[in-house]
């Protein structure tokens, strides 16, 4: 017996429809669609948010041997 048989999914969708109602499901669907569009848009934009005048600063980790831990 499959866990995600079509009849099981239909029953779950029917229960969700009864609990939340059609208006809430429509709102959630619209919000989900907008989120997916925004995500795809963000994936297609250039990765760098840096401005041309921004300086790049390199941070080097401190030398662990030079620090003494008392204890």
User: What whole-number distance in Å separates Cα of residue 56 and Cα of residue 49?
Assistant: 12
Q: What's the whole-number average pLDDT of the chain?
A: 78
pLDDT in tens, 5-39: 888 989 988 998 898 888 888 888 889 899 999 99
> 40 lies in which domain range?
1-47
Give residue 21's region: left, alpha or beta (phi > 0; psi -120 to 50). left
Q: What does the pLDDT read at residue 11? A: 92
In a domain, 57, yes or no: no
Whether residue 17 is contained in a domain is answered as: yes
Inter-residue contact 25 to 17 (CB < 8 Å): yes
Q: How many domains does the chain have?
A: 1
pTM of the entire predicted model: 0.43
Q: What is the DSSP letter of 7?
A: H
Position 36 scores a pLDDT of: 94
Token pair in block for residue 1: 């017996």
Within-domain flag for 63: no
Identify the band that residue 52 occupies on the pLDDT scale cut at 50, 70 and 90. Answer: low
For residue 60, pLDDT over 70 is answered with yes
Please check whether residue 1 lies inside any domain of the structure: yes
């Amino acid at each position: 017996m499959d866990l995600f048989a079509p009849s099981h999914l239909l029953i779950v969708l029917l229960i969700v429809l009864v609990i939340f109602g059609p208006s809430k499901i429509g709102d959630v669907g619209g919000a989900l669609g907008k989120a997916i569009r925004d995500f795809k848009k963000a994936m297609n934009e250039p990765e760098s948010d840096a401005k041309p005048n921004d300086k790049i600063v390199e941070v080097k980790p401190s030398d662990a041997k030079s620090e003494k831990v008392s204890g």
